[in-house]
Amino acid sequence: MLDNAMLDNGWQYTQSLWEVFHNTVFLGQTLKSTEIVPQPAQCFKIHVPNGGELATATEFFLASSHDHPCAGLDWIVLLYLFLVVHCCSWFSRWLVWEPFARWRLGVSSNCGDATTKRKIENFSQSVNAASFHILSSIFVWRILSQKEWLWSTEAWGDPTALSSIEPDFKFYYLLYAARYISDMLSLYYENKRSDTLAYAIHHVATVALVLLSGHVGLTRVGGVIMFFFDWTDPFMLIAKALVYLSRKPTDIYQWLADRLFELFAVSFFLTRNLMFSCVVYVVFQYDFNDYPEIPATAAFILKSMLIVLELLMTFWLVLIIKAAINQLSNEGNVEDIREDEFTTTKKKKGI
């Protein structure tokens, strides 16, 4: 039952996770077991990694039916993080990116035709998403780059690592879920595209994978996906934003957009198609009978969501190939094959 005590504990827990996350990401400090245990103390424990020093760790508390005093607190943390992410996302669009786009395109807030207004909205959406992806890539690099297990496929599914997680990594994990929940809800208000449904499916599958992998303890697999794949998206998103600011096919904005699209196409294929397929293959090699803590239903859902993402990556690769072919036949400028609002405008460029 959700009550004031649970909300207070959830807020304390969120603050403690944030403090460790902040110290790791921004100050380069790690939480040692000799320090004061964060609050609420029952949500943390002394943890001894294989061959490592004593450290303070926590675990996931998504199940509200357990007798643990912290049971269900993760939903409170997720709620707080969602509210922060969602507000930052939309206020940055309204207060920063849309005014900047209007200034660049030379229109006031009450002027401009429907196409111009959609360009402004799409620009703010692209820059906002790029900002989140860039920050996410920096955060996960600061947290995981020194982890030895990151580079060992055998260590990704280490059964001894299922019952604990570093507080900074857990904060990032829940922040990642909160971001995609925000993106999923924002799709309802944003301009519709030809692959809006694909994005909705992607966000649902991603949130399901993040929360379920956290619940059963396979956070290392999730961390690998987050670490290696988020950094490719800014190429495409910044390219889109530059296209919306471009006034003619020969200006610097369009030229930069074309070069960024080319970088994105190569990096997407290498990471989202080749490397992601390798991660999926590794997970499918696991014998989940060796993981008695993971129910068969959870293992099935995890594998199913990975297949869904694999299919989506293939679908988007096809779109990228089509855009690349269009670029070759369109004076080197890539056209937008996703934006429905551009289909009636001749020679409109986009990503």
**How many CB atoms neighbour CB 250 within 10 A?**
11
* Residues whose CB falls within 8 Å of the CB of residue 98, separated by 6 or more in sequence, listed in order: 120, 121, 123, 124
The model's pLDDT over 327-341, given as tens digits with 9 standing for 90+, comes to 777 665 665 545 543
Distance spanning both ends of the chain, measured CA to CA: 47
Spatial distance between the Cα atoms of 165 and 44, rounded to a whole number of angstroms: 10
Q: Categorize the per-residue pLDDT at 111 as very low, low, confident or very high, splitting at 50, 70 and 90.
A: low
Mean pLDDT (whole number) for 124-137: 95
Indicate the SS3 state at residue 54.
Answer: coil
The pLDDT score that the predictor gives to residue 187 is 92
Contact between 276 and 310 (Cβ < 8 Å): yes
Return phi, psi of residue 291, to 5°. Answer: -120, 75
- The rounded Cα 305 to chain-centroid distance in angstroms is 15
Helices (H), 187-275: 196-216, 219-229, 233-245, 252-268
Give just the sign of the alpha carbon dihedral 283, 288, 290, 292.
positive
**How many CB atoms neighbour CB 223 within 10 A?**
23
- What is the average pLDDT value for the chain, to the nearest integer? 87
Nearest to residue 74, comparing CAs of 61, 83, 85?
61
Strand partners, 196: none
- The rounded Cα 131 to chain-centroid distance in angstroms is 11
The pLDDT score that the predictor gives to residue 195 is 85
Spatial distance between the Cα atoms of 16 and 322, rounded to a whole number of angstroms: 47
Mean pLDDT (whole number) for 23-42: 74
Mean pLDDT (whole number) for 59-86: 91
Bond preceding residue 40 cis, omega within 30 of 0:
yes
Most confident of 51-55, 59-63, 85-89: 85-89
Share of the chain above pLDDT 90, in %: 60
One-letter identity of residue 146: Q
